[in-house]
Each structure stands twice: as structure tokens, then as C-alpha cells.
Structure 1
Amino acid sequence: MTAWLSVLVPLLVMFFALGMERVESRLRETSVRQDELDELLEQPRPDEVRALFRSGTNRALEMFRLRHRDADGGRPTRRSKVSS
């Protein structure tokens, strides 16, 4: 019984770690860039603050990106992926 536990526990920990790596990689891809969030919090518009309060960060950042896209002449902003 002890021999089975000594083999099973490390295997379970290894599979758990591999699963968490996949979850972390998905979260890393969908995360918000720090400079965008800093700029949103430094120069908010009333509608962006209202969206942040009511709908959360994603909606407020969407409005922020639309504002910057309009200010840049209609060009969509590119999001860079963080490589590790």
C-alpha cells in the first residue's frame, strides 16, 4: 500500500502541475496589458468609469481601445503577446 502511494502521489502532483500550466497559459493570453490599464486609470472618461463600475474591466478597456482607435484615425490597436 505504501509503495502505491509513493508512486501515485508524485504522478498526481505532476498531472496537476501540467493542468495548471495549461490554465495559466490561457490566462496569460487573455490578460490585460499593464500599460493600457495604467493609462485607463490615469485618464478616464465618465463613460469609461461608469462601464468600469457597472460591467468591469473588460468593458471599460473595450471603450478605452475604441477611443484610442478613433484618435489614431481608425486604425485598430495591436495587442502584443507576452512571450516566455
Structure 2
Amino acid sequence: MQGGYSHLRYNVNGHLVEARDEAKNRSLRYVNNAQGRVLKREETAKGSTYKRQDYYCYLDGKQIGAVGNDGVSRVDYAQWID
């Protein structure tokens, strides 16, 4: 296991908006709704042109979907709905 440092940045509501992984030289940025749920996650690595993006959808406080450019989601949202 490789050691390292992460730098975390929060908005005025206490929600995580950025995490920087110094060991892997990458940055993760988040867009949250008022409840703090992640609506968008964006990952970039220094020296790479690839940018991973994920978007999340919620209904009544439950995640009902996700879409991104990193392959198919393996989450079965139908099982989450009561």
C-alpha cells in the first residue's frame, strides 16, 4: 500500500467540493445539491487529457440513476425503490 496525502476543500455548507490526491496526482471535484448529495463528480489527472465525469439523479432523497463516461453502472436502482 502506497502512502500519500489528500487535500480536501469544503463549501460554506460543509459539503465536499474538491479532493486532491497528491500520491496519484489527481483531482476530484464535486457539485452538490442543497442537501449535500453529489450531482456531479469530475476526475482529472495531471498530465492526462482524459476527464472522467459522473452525474447522479435523485427522487425523494434516493438515488435513482447515474450516468458517466466510464462504462456501464452496475447499480440496480429498481431494488432501491421501496
Greater strand content: 2
TM-score, normalised by the number of residues in structure 1? 0.24
Higher helix share: 1
